[in-house]
A and B are shown apart, each in its own frame.
Chain A
Amino acid sequence: MSAAICIQQVSKSFGSTRALDGIDLEVQQGEFFGLLGPNGAGKTTLISALAGLVRPDAGSLRVMGHDVQADYRAARRVLGVVPQELVFDPFFTVRESLKIQSGYFGIGDNDKWIDEILENLGLTSKANANMRMLSGGMKRRVLVAQALVHRPPVIVLDEPTAGVDVELRQTLWHFIRRLNEAGHTIVLTTHYLEEAENLCTRIAMLKAGRLVALDTTANLLRRFSVHSLRLRTRGAMPAELTRGGAENGGWWSLPFDGFDEVEPLLAKIRAAGCSIDDLEIGKPDLEEVFVRVMQGPQAEPVN
């Protein structure tokens, strides 16, 4: 079985900007994969190279085993891309847009599937509305729908939830999860790290065109993030504890590895004559992982 996505040694420069710098990445069929990185890291460029919108200077990309240049027809037929930019064709209605998009993929009678997509994305009532008349979030839904008309086995979503309300996020993720369960491979970029943490089983992090982390979400959380005791106190905290912790807006954050460390920590605080006003336990989260990875040395060993 070929990998859903196979990226080998891909580099791309725009003038003096090195947008992609020797990327190697494989996504297996059926994965729910997260592609993270700060603005300008190269996520969209990588997706564009996969979709044939950008021609890499070096390296090769394959989708379901099909080279995106040599075998572009097959590669594009198995790939659905939701672009990051909110684009639409103002001449057509929602349904016309979807029918035309189906036709581009050689699908004539697609009404049943189009209806199902519309239903699942909460677009049924807008089916005959002109694209110009839709709100931003509605246009975003149509972009998702357009990427799905040909039932692509590999679906890539470039920040699909930017500017989208809570309700759509939930319906969107519900739908995408179902597609994933049905066997579709999903690749997602997002700046909402909670979203990635909840959805993605494996995550790659890009920084300045390089892959700086690649692991399962669980491993990343374990490796880079720890539990922390967060508390607000009255009185001076013992210096021995504050050295390892951090203060932010009156809250102290003290890292710990195992829960049996909590009691001794609290005891020390009490012994120092500090009283605790408020207390909570912080779980490891992807945001912390992200920050640490991005602050870390460039050459984080990957592969």
Chain B
Amino acid sequence: MRYGGFSTLLYKEVLRFWKVASQTVAAPVLTALLYLLIFSHVLEGHVQVHGVPYAAFLIPGLVMMSVLQNAFANTSSSLIQSKVTGNIVFVLLPPISYLEFFAAYVLAAVVRGLVVGTGVLLATFWFAPLTFAEPWWILIFALMGGAILGSLGVIAGIWADKFDQLAAFQNFLIMPLTFLSGVFYSINSLPPFWQQVSHWNPVFYMIDGFRHGFFGVSDASPWLSLAVAGACLALLAMITLNLLKRGYKLRA
């Protein structure tokens, strides 16, 4: 490993969540497993989506939801903790550029997302016949989704001054966006109005594209989903980099 600001910061961020893996990895895997057990038990046999059994449909949604939520949690909670405790100075004093700062935090969030996502997949794929029709989509959307939510987590972590502000961000933005994104259902089963609303939710495209990788079918074209995810990532990265460059709330 070549030592430098970026690689050390990435290493430190990964080590940070890995040291408390029971909270940061095991707990979200367990949560996803519980969702699967409850929802698939209630709905199995009643519902088929895109011609696949409900449990099989649900699993990729749960995996992607875990990737997204954990990527967000990683950057946002790390930053708010460092700010509140003041140890953020340890990364502000060394010669680390704002680009390195951004890349390290977001990449660590992607790693956390992938680790948890893999954990959820390993814990759940026994329960239903899962296929991997077009696996590269799986990887692309997992990476992009992790980066998008990781970046959003940087913004939230920098913006929030207190833990409850971060909780508000999480409860009023991240949770609705991820829950109302077709994790638990195909949006084609929704009334037309809510279908329209879902099409304005970028998380819908990330989950739909991710799921396309498993079944080869989806509500929207994976290319459209890729375009939406790409645009989101570009926009959020621009905003985040701008905040970091200005030192917003980090350098007085």
A104/B252 contact (C-beta < 8 A), A72-B95, A77-B95, A87-B85 known:
no
Min CB–CB distance A144 → chain B (angstroms): 13
Query: A9 vs B122: C-alpha distance in the bound complex, in angstroms?
Result: 62
Taking the complex as formed, is A91 at the interface, i.e. its CB lies under 8 A from any CB of chain B? yes
A72 CA / B7 CA spacing, docked (Å)? 19
Which of A74, A76, A90, A106 has the most B CB atoms < 10 Å from its CB? Answer: A106
A55-B247, A55-B252 known; A101-B90 Cβ under 8 A: yes
Contact among A53, A72, A106, A107 with B89 in the assembled complex (CB-CB below 8 Å):
A53
Contact A52 to B90, CB < 8 A, known contacts A91-B15, A103-B7: no
CA distance A92 to B89 in the complex (A): 16
Q: When A and B form their complex, what is the total count of cross-chain residue pairs whose Cβ atoms lie within 8 Å?
A: 84
What residues of chain A have their CB less than 8 Å away from a CB belonging to chain B? 14, 48, 51-55, 72-74, 76-77, 79, 81, 83, 85, 87-92, 96-97, 100-108, 146, 150
**Residue in B7, B11, B92, B94 whose beta carbon sits within 8 Å of that of A105 in the complex:** B94
Q: Given A14-B252, A90-B85, A91-B15, A103–B95 Cβ distance below 8 Å?
A: no
Contacts known (A52-B251, A53-B252); A76 close to B89, Cβ less than 8 A? no
Give every chain B residue within 8 A of A146 (Cβ-Cβ): 90
Judge if B135 is at the interface, Cβ distance under 8 Å.
no
Q: Once the chains are docked, how many angstroms separate the CA of A100 from the CA of B89? A: 13
Instruction: Judge whether A108 and B87 touch: CB under 8 Å.
Output: no
- B3 at interface, CB cutoff 8 A: yes
B92 close to A53 (CB less than 8 A): yes
Q: In angstroms, how far is the closest chain B Cβ from the Cβ of A64?
A: 13
- Check B86–A91 contact: CB distance below 8 A: no
List, in ascending order, chain B residues with CB within 8 A of A83's CB.
Answer: 86, 89
B4 within 8 A of partner (CB):
yes
Q: With contacts A76-B93, A89-B87 known, is A53 near B251, CB below 8 A?
A: yes
- By a beta-carbon cutoff of 8 Å, the part of chain B in contact with chain A is 1-5, 7-9, 11-12, 15-16, 19-20, 82, 85-87, 89-97, 247, 251-252
Q: Are B93 and A51 interface neighbours, CB within 8 A?
A: yes
Nearest-CB residue, chain A, relative to B91: A104
- With A14-B252, A48-B252, A53-B251: A106-B4 Cβ-Cβ less than 8 Å: yes
Provide the bound-state CA to CA distance between A83 and B85, in Å: 13
> What 18 additional pairs, Cβ within 8 angstroms, besides A77-B95, A87-B85, A107-B3?
A53-B252, A55-B252, A76-B95, A79-B93, A81-B93, A88-B87, A92-B15, A96-B15, A100-B8, A100-B90, A102-B3, A103-B4, A103-B7, A104-B8, A104-B91, A105-B95, A106-B95, A146-B90
Nearest-neighbour CB distance to chain A for B101, whole angstroms, equals: 11
| Complex contacts, B8 vs chain A, CB 8 Å | 100, 103-104
Question: Assuming the A-B contacts A89-B87, A89-B90, are A54 and B5 also in contact, with contact meaning beta carbons closer than 8 angstroms in the complex?
Answer: no
Min CB distance, A75 to chain B, in Å?
Answer: 8
The docked-state distance in angstroms from the alpha carbon of A150 to that of B7 is 17
Pairwise interchain contact A104-B9, C-beta atoms closer than 8 A: yes
Are A104's CB and B96's CB within 8 A?
yes
A54 touches B93 (CB 8 A): no
Interface pairs (12), CB distance under 8 Å: A51-B92, A52-B92, A53-B251, A73-B95, A83-B89, A88-B87, A91-B16, A100-B8, A100-B12, A104-B8, A105-B5, A150-B94
